Structure 1
Amino acid sequence: MSFTRRAANTTTPLPYIFTPSGTFDGNDGSWSSFIINIGDSTGDGSSGQNFKVLISTSGSVTWIPMQASWCDEPDQSTCAEARGVQTYNAKQSLGFQSNASSTWKEIGIYDLHLPLNLEYTPDLKPNASYGTDIVGLGPDSSITPQLPAQLVAEIETEDFFMGSFGLSTQPVTLGGGPIATFLTDFNYSNCTPSLSYGYTAGAQYRNDSKGVLASLILGGFDHSRFTTQGTSISMPGNGNSSLIVGVESIVVAPDPSVDSNQYSMTANNQGFSALIDSTLPYLWLPQAVCDNFAARFQLTYDSTTKLYTVNDTSHAYNLKQNATVSFKIGSTANPSNTFTSIVLPYAAFDLQASFPIYQNATNYFPIRQSPTGLYVLGRTFLQEAYIIVDYERNNFTVAPANFSDPMPNPNVVIIHSTSFVAPEPPKKSSGLPTGAIAGIAVAAVVIILALLLGLFFCWYRPRKRRNKGTQVAEIDTLVAGTEVKNRRISELGSEPGSPPPRFSSAAGFYGDQDNKDRPVPPTIHEIALQELESPPEVLELESPPLSEPAKRTDAQYIDSHVRRREARKDADQGLVGPRIHELPGDDGMFQVQGQHFEPVHSRGPSGESVPTDVSSSPSDPHEEELEAWALGQKTDNNGQNVDGEEH
């Protein structure tokens, strides 16, 4: 799947996860590799040539092996496969076949661009055949991301056994104008959100030698592959995007159960600056530092290969020591409070070199003396370090790699371009949406109706029924005698201005003659029934309940409840009309001041009408006095009223 230059206005892509091949390869150690495909013979992007390559953090060009005359151990096919060359047209290829690619355009033979012009052996000035062709990430496929016209170098030198995939953005000039790197074009084609990546080399010795594969994220990083401790360092600038760090110190710490001491590898505790570069596995270090390593790990210097080898005795010793090597990394070589420690176990240095470096696999310790005073932390270092490189902001971060068994799920984080403008969040509405307002209004109406219905059914209707059921008609009990049955009522009227009756609790008892245990109600003071253009006020006197049921007869029956009479006010004279007072009757004889008398009026259950007037023939003075008071006249026992009128 080929990509073209991105349009001016596009959406932000996600980071691209470059999946490892799943195997560990190489002749100078076991390294987690990646697969790329080069060229196309059919024009549909599905007929490229596949290669396993390693990552070069400082390289700008894609290197691929070509057929080499020296690669014949144990045979050409086996050697080519060991170099990462995959099968092509159903058989093992011996190297890149430029003549089989219809998109190959040859440029010429030029020197390989090596980091810091370091000295390599046996070829001090290795070269390659350059050209441009399609480069795709992963095995050839119609869905593989591919870029056309990418710079490719066919290598034959023994110093670079496998091919490499460069991650630098430094353009290359080969006799003409500058040629952009793959990472630059990949970002420009809208395949990554920015010119950045996150990478760790993986470690074959981790997780009980099952190995942990490398991780490469273009346009972002995988947060699950490193711990939170990290140091951010600025690039040199002025077009130099090298990953230069300060090595403040290197300390070796054997297993405490074997040796509790720690040993400094930096001469006189002096730090130095170094380039992080995964092109090769070696650590190019100051000679004094190399000497300290050689002494501590019992290494032997090989002047032919310029490598430090480890014999069987030394190898057994180092395995027993099981030491760790801590690199204190900062932005400068001087001690500082801002640093991160990258700790490598001895297993990270326990490598083997094979053909063509050695005819037989040989244990070696991957350090080298720098002949130029320029130092490198190679692929070995990146087994335990995770780097995040941001070319747009000219900085990078170094952090300890994270290992667990099993490894955590990826947590890919995007690195946005410096030109990225975050979309504005949706503006908050000043009010509720119309639909919400309508919904609230409808809900409010429904709630109000429900409340009204509830009020009607739960309060108004029951109250109306209760009032209707308990409403007492204003009936003159003197007239509607036929409607008031089984009651005996004594009524005493009063003339205007006459005082109400006053009774004392000492006046006597009422009840049966033989059961005088109920006192007359407490003193009753003036009770006026007045009406001032308002409903009449009704005052009722009710006798206390009997302690036991009264013995009633038809002749003595009288209701214990008081009927109501209405008093009307004379609006013109301000006088109160005749007061009608109703006293409770009983089945017994009334007693007043110790004297007994029969009730003035009585009505039994026969339903006889109550007389319209009170007539009396007092049988004794007490009855006469009571009757005179009922007529509103104050009389004495001789029948004379207070005004001198005869009664």
Structure 2
Amino acid sequence: MTWSDSTFGPDGPWHAVNIYMGANDTEIAMFPGGSWTSYVLLNTLCDNTTKISSYCYGDRAGLYNPDTSKTWDGDSVRLSPVNTWTGIQWGYTDAVSLDAYIYRALESIDVGGTGTSDSNLIAIKQGYQTYPGGNIFPLEVGILALGSPDINQTFAEPSGPPTNGTFVTSWLYEHGVTPSYSYGMHIGSPKFDIPGSLYLGGYDKNRLLGDISTQPINSGELPIEMLDISLGVVDGGSVWGSSSITDLMAKSNSSLQSGTNVAIDATNPYIYMPQSTCDAITAYLPVTYRSDLGLYVWDTNNETYAKLITSPSYLAFDFAKNDVNTANITIKVPFALLNLTLSPPLVEFDTPYFPLMPTNGTPVLGRAFLQAAFYGVHWSQGYWFLSQAPGPDDNFIKNIVSIEPTTTTISGSASSWKDTWASYWTALPSIAANNDSGTNSSSSPSSPTNASTSLSTGAKAGIGVGCGCAAIVIIFLAAWILIRRRNRAKQLTTSPPQGDPGHHLVSQGGAPVELDDSKPDILHELNHDPAFAGYYEKRNSGKSRTVQGPQSSIGQSEGLESGTTSRYELF
């Protein structure tokens, strides 16, 4: 498949593939990866821009005008929906609802220089998305379905013979263009110049690094059991003070302790998880939740943000390998890939965001996850495949391998995943983190460990030395305070003679010493001296007087008779 030179989406950017639709070969960019039905945006999408936006964003990827094609068939499939507004759902999440004016149709599609006929479509004349906060936004890019468990999709008409719709993948296989009814894809990342890779009837072996998991298809869905989500680093230190923080999927949600099924879905952009899981993940990140979008935006002023997206830090997803409970496979998504951009019309100006969205429905791993993962589908065998994909330092030399009709397993490259990111990462200068071997490892499932692990012997020794040093400092400090107090007491014994009315008597563990009122600076110094812990006395000549100290209110004398004495304690 040919990938577009342009990138798309107000929440990416994302790669899309080019197809040529109809007898007039209209070039259109579409997001690949759906099942059963393709969704094409018609030119009428731009007829009404007052409801949502004055600018028609769908123009960038290309819109289709069926009136210019002789091969467009919008009449044969008369099943519902037919020219009506309805709520539809492409992909396997309804976290963002989609309302559209649609009807079914059949049309020819050219892929890779080969034309296919009677592809099953849903034509969208008008449509918009409604985000969790209630804001509506226009559609921008259609969806290209890549098959289903059936070789064709048959529509039983109310009268007359049934109508058969095909898929580009099934048509090419049936006509001997590809060796099997299958495909392999890595969508890549425009931001890091990781090119997209999509082969029908095969795959690029160099896009699979390390372990590969094989599991069954469920109708058109690609499910896998997810066991946990964790945070980690490949090399160096961690902004979290730990090289691994696990048990994030099931935190505060005991129903997820034994794992949960998630769907892989390239037609949806985000990572869709239960609210409890989102809370557990974002508790460790400098992000703010935008309720109007249902998404999290990065706090770019927080110093942790820059460290995360430039260091070898990642969000890891642990799965049951090969649909069994005896081995695991982990896909690591670097935070560099999770620093995406929201742009108009979703926001007024470009905004870095973390592509995680809470959902009450099926957990789904969308394009944000698939930037770092390869997946392939063999519809005839009923299996699909998952593996780690390379980063931007890969040479992207192609090694195309056919998927045969009887293929049940596929193989990948022995290249190091870590090496494909090396020049883009700067390790944090902290305690040594667990090094990554460069490939995913399979192991028997184990109980998740807590974020705070037990201390090593070296760490305990370090703490002991630190406590000893602190004790020595405290002893010297106490001695210094004691010496200063004694020196202060000696200075006070040389003060003016006592006995005159109106003078202050100061005591610091000995006989009172009189201070002349004409020397307020001495009294002020005592009131501000943290080492002075005694008291002073005032002999009153018949008038009330109040004396205040800096460390507290140290007393008041009201209406004292001549010759009486008030004592004020400093504490």
TM-score (norm 1): 0.53
Work out the number of aligned pairs and report it. 369
Cα distance in 2, alignment partners of residues 195 and 382 from structure 1: 22
Q: Is this contact kept in 1: 2:42–2:66, CA < 8 A?
A: no
Q: Counterpart of 1:468?
A: none
Cα distance in 2, alignment partners of residues 181 and 293 from structure 1: 38
AA paired with 2:249? T
Whether 2:400 is the aligned partner of 1:412: answer yes
Per the TM alignment, residue 150 of structure 1 is displaced from its structure 2 partner at its CA by 1.7
Q: Counterpart of 1:330?
A: 320
Q: Is this contact kept in 1: 2:58–2:140, CA < 8 A?
A: no
**Cα distance, 1:332–1:68 mapped onto 2, change above 3 Å:** farther
Per the TM alignment, residue 344 of structure 1 is displaced from its structure 2 partner at its CA by 0.7
Structure with the larger strand share: 2
AA paired with 1:68? C
Per the TM alignment, residue 65 of structure 1 is displaced from its structure 2 partner at its CA by 4.8
Per the TM alignment, residue 376 of structure 1 is displaced from its structure 2 partner at its CA by 0.6
Cα distance in 1, alignment partners of residues 3 and 183 from structure 2: 15
Matched ranges for 1:177-196 at <5 A = 177=162, 179-196=165-182
Per the TM alignment, residue 406 of structure 1 is displaced from its structure 2 partner at its CA by 5.4
Per the TM alignment, residue 59 of structure 1 is displaced from its structure 2 partner at its CA by 5.1
Residues 499-544 of structure 1 deviation map (CA, whole Å, 9 limit, x = unaligned): xxxxxxxxxxxxxxxxxxxxxxxxxxxxxxxxxxxxxxxxxxxxxx
Cα distance in 2, alignment partners of residues 330 and 251 from structure 1: 15
AA paired with 1:153? I
Q: Is this contact kept in 1: 2:214–2:323, CA < 8 A?
A: no
Q: Counterpart of 1:28?
A: 11
**Cα distance, 1:368–1:191 mapped onto 2, change above 3 Å:** same
Cα distance in 2, alignment partners of residues 289 and 100 from structure 1: 49
Per the TM alignment, residue 234 of structure 1 is displaced from its structure 2 partner at its CA by 2.0
Per the TM alignment, residue 202 of structure 1 is displaced from its structure 2 partner at its CA by 0.7
AA paired with 2:385? T
**Cα distance, 1:115–1:408 mapped onto 2, change above 3 Å:** closer
Cα distance in 2, alignment partners of residues 313 and 203 from structure 1: 25
**Cα distance, 1:153–1:297 mapped onto 2, change above 3 Å:** same
Cα distance in 2, alignment partners of residues 39 and 297 from structure 1: 47
AA paired with 2:231? V
AA paired with 1:328? D
SS where residue 313 of structure 1 aligns?
Answer: coil
Per the TM alignment, residue 70 of structure 1 is displaced from its structure 2 partner at its CA by 5.8
Match among 210, 231, 235 for residue 213 of structure 2: 231
**Cα distance, 1:175–1:128 mapped onto 2, change above 3 Å:** farther
**Cα distance, 1:344–1:64 mapped onto 2, change above 3 Å:** same
Cα distance in 2, alignment partners of residues 135 and 342 from structure 1: 34
AA paired with 2:217? M
Greater CA radius of gyration, 1 or 2? 1
SS where residue 301 of structure 2 aligns?
Answer: helix
SS where residue 289 of structure 2 aligns?
Answer: strand
Cα distance in 2, alignment partners of residues 203 and 166 from structure 1: 21
Residues 452-488 of structure 1 deviation map (CA, whole Å, 9 limit, x = unaligned): xxxxxxxxxxxxxxxxxxxxxxxxxxxxxxxxxxxxx
AA paired with 2:111? L
Q: Counterpart of 1:386?
A: 374
Cα distance in 1, alignment partners of residues 109 and 100 from structure 2: 23
Cα distance in 1, alignment partners of residues 236 and 393 from structure 2: 24
Q: Counterpart of 1:612?
A: none
Q: Is this contact kept in 1: 2:273–2:358, CA < 8 A?
A: yes
SS where residue 11 of structure 2 aligns?
Answer: coil
Per the TM alignment, residue 69 of structure 1 is displaced from its structure 2 partner at its CA by 4.5
Q: Is this contact kept in 1: 2:10–2:343, CA < 8 A?
A: yes
**Cα distance, 1:71–1:58 mapped onto 2, change above 3 Å:** farther
SS where residue 154 of structure 1 aligns?
Answer: strand
Residues 224-253 of structure 1 deviation map (CA, whole Å, 9 limit, x = unaligned): 1111311111224xxx14210111111112
Q: Counterpart of 2:542?
A: none
Match among 319, 323, 335 for residue 346 of structure 1: 335
Match among 199, 221, 237 for residue 257 of structure 1: 237
**Cα distance, 1:116–1:257 mapped onto 2, change above 3 Å:** closer
Matched ranges for 1:437-586 at <5 A = none
Q: Counterpart of 1:528?
A: none
Whether 2:197 is the aligned partner of 1:247: answer no
Q: Counterpart of 2:141?
A: 162
Cα distance in 2, alignment partners of residues 333 and 266 from structure 1: 19
Greater relative contact order: 1 or 2 (C-alpha under 8 angstroms, separation 6 or more)?
2
Residues 544-592 of structure 1 deviation map (CA, whole Å, 9 limit, x = unaligned): xxxxxxxxxxxxxxxxxxxxxxxxxxxxxxxxxxxxxxxxxxxxxxxxx
Match among 201, 213, 216 for residue 187 of structure 2: 201
Matched ranges for 1:419-434 at <5 A = none
Per the TM alignment, residue 378 of structure 1 is displaced from its structure 2 partner at its CA by 0.4
SS where residue 346 of structure 2 aligns?
Answer: coil
Q: Is this contact kept in 2: 1:65–1:162, CA < 8 A?
A: no
Gaps of 5+ in 2: 76-81, 130-138, 409-571
AA paired with 1:51? I
Cα distance in 2, alignment partners of residues 32 and 397 from structure 1: 21
Per the TM alignment, residue 403 of structure 1 is displaced from its structure 2 partner at its CA by 3.5
Q: Counterpart of 1:19?
A: 2
Cα distance in 1, alignment partners of residues 217 and 121 from structure 2: 26
SS where residue 23 of structure 1 aligns?
Answer: coil
Q: Counterpart of 1:572?
A: none
Matched ranges for 1:609-624 at <5 A = none
Q: Counterpart of 2:522?
A: none
Residues 91-148 of structure 1 deviation map (CA, whole Å, 9 limit, x = unaligned): xxxx211111122121433654533462424x4x44533322211115xxxxx21112
Matched ranges for 1:86-105 at <5 A = 95-105=63-73
Per the TM alignment, residue 332 of structure 1 is displaced from its structure 2 partner at its CA by 8.3
Residues 335-356 of structure 1 deviation map (CA, whole Å, 9 limit, x = unaligned): x442221111112111112233
AA paired with 2:365? L
Q: Counterpart of 1:300?
A: 288
Q: Counterpart of 1:149?
A: 118
**Cα distance, 1:297–1:70 mapped onto 2, change above 3 Å:** farther
Shift >6 Å, 4+ stretches? 72-75
TM-score (norm 2): 0.59
**Cα distance, 1:292–1:173 mapped onto 2, change above 3 Å:** farther
SS where residue 269 of structure 2 aligns?
Answer: coil
**Cα distance, 1:74–1:127 mapped onto 2, change above 3 Å:** closer
**Cα distance, 1:312–1:68 mapped onto 2, change above 3 Å:** same
AA paired with 1:277? D
SS where residue 32 of structure 1 aligns?
Answer: coil
